[in-house]
Amino acid sequence: MGGPLASAALLPRLYAGEGAAIARMLTRAEAATPEAREALAEIYRRAGRAHVIGITGVPGSGKSTLVGKLTRALRATHRKVGIIAVDPSSPFSGGAILGDRIRMSELATDPGVFIRSMATRGSMGGLARSTQDAVDILDAAGFHLILIETVGVGQDEVEIAQASHTTIVVSAPGLGDDIQAIKAGVLEIADVHVVSKCDRPDSFRTVADLKSMLAMGAVLSRGGWSVPVVATSSERGEGIGDLVSAIDRHREYLHHSGALRARRQRIAEYRMLKTAEDLLRRRFAASRAGRVADLAERLAARELEPYSAAEELLNSAFGSTYHE
């Protein structure tokens, strides 16, 4: 076939919304192929129109199923929807089982929906390293709404709020009491709360706990937006329409209040810092080679203490220019 097609040659097809071209560009973004960098830069300049919705919650809270139902409802408003579904990589083999698509089978052949699965590859925080490149690619390909489904998170993975315009936190009934609801962490990042599986009898308690947490003012720093709690049941198809209108109201709010500009700035800043940290980490990994084992041995023998060992490692990796 005459070798790989240049990324620049994919762009016109990608802008026209051609599935195979979008898919190939996503692969190259994920692989961080140097050849693709200029094309990704052009995509970045072109993107910025889509509304990005982050969906997070504990494992098994029903995120994927909800994404399926939500997308179906959003499609009724004739908007094209791109979905990025992140699942964890194995810490041992690096492999992954990406199973989110199974729950979205009703979208399988809708030409206005594009679903892509991504593995975290050791990246913490609930997203993959290239998730935001993927957002830009789908944005530039003409998708109006982009849904990012994070890995099932614990309490502390809040990166999604730095990547999306509207953050939805999904809680399932039966996983904790009102003290869980006032803890710091992932619950604080929600622009919209969803309580899933509301066909279960104990779901009213989860809804009540979240509402009283919100009333307590834990999240009052949201400006003029009051965070709604939407009860859904994917099984019965209930509450999905309410969720669509909550998302649209939040989008309107961002536009009219001027908060959108601030949020875009925040997303850009976070992304720049994260990319810089990434580069630094890679440079560090390359330049510390050969120094780690020796220092670790002296540290284990308690000849060194951790702080000076770390300083010595940094000095040898980056030269004596490193000072706190």
Partner 1 sequence: MNQAIRIMLAKVGLDGHDRGVKVVARCLRDAGMDVIYTGLHRSPDEVVTAAVQEDVDILGVSLLSGAHMTIFPRILKLLEERGGQDILVVGGGVIPDEDVDALKKMGVKEILLQDTPPQVIVETLRELVDARGPR
Residue type, position 237, single letter: G
In the complex, the smallest distance separating the C-beta of residue 215 from partner 1, rounded to whole angstroms, is: 41
The answer to whether residues 267 and 259 touch, using CB atoms and an 8 Å cutoff, is no
Task: State which H helix or E strand residue 130 sits in.
Answer: none
Question: Given the structure tokens 């944005």, which residue do they identify?
Answer: 139
Cβ closest to partner 1, residue 105 vs residue 321: 105
Residue 118 is encoded by which pair of tokens?
């991504």
Task: State which H helix or E strand residue 153 sits in.
Answer: none
Contact window for partner 1 (CB under 8 A) among 56-64, 68-76, 102-110, 143-151? 102-110
In the complex, the smallest distance separating the C-beta of residue 108 from partner 1, rounded to whole angstroms, is: 4
In the complex, the smallest distance separating the C-beta of residue 220 from partner 1, rounded to whole angstroms, is: 41
When binding is defined by CB under 8 A, the residue of 12, 19, 122, 174 that contacts partner 1 is 19
Residue 23 is encoded by which pair of tokens?
């898919």
Residue 221 is encoded by which pair of tokens?
């720093």
Which positions from 110 through 139 interact with partner 1, judged by CB under 8 A?
Answer: 114-117, 119, 121
Burial of 306 (C-beta count, 10 Å sphere; 0-12/13-18/19+): exposed
When binding is defined by CB under 8 A, the residue of 11, 30, 145, 189 that contacts partner 1 is 30
CA 77 to chain centre: 24
Cβ closest to partner 1, residue 152 vs residue 239: 152
Of the candidates 26, 93, 100, 37, the one whose C-alpha atom is nearest the C-alpha of residue 68 is 100
When binding is defined by CB under 8 A, the residue of 14, 24, 68, 231 that contacts partner 1 is 24
For residue 22, the 8-state DSSP code is H
When binding is defined by CB under 8 A, the residue of 78, 109, 217, 290 that contacts partner 1 is 109
Contact window for partner 1 (CB under 8 A) among 13-21, 48-56, 62-70, 225-233? 13-21
Helical axes 240-257 vs 63-75, angle rounded to 10°: 70
Residue type, position 275, single letter: T
Residue 257 in contact with partner 1, rule: CB under 8 A: no
Cβ closest to partner 1, residue 21 vs residue 181: 21
Cβ closest to partner 1, residue 32 vs residue 182: 32
Residue 207 is encoded by which pair of tokens?
């809804």
Q: Coil, strand or helix: which one is 23?
A: helix
Cβ closest to partner 1, residue 20 vs residue 272: 20
Residues at the interface with partner 1 (CB under 8 A):
1, 3-5, 18-24, 26-27, 30-33, 89-90, 92-99, 101-102, 105, 108-109, 114-117, 119, 121
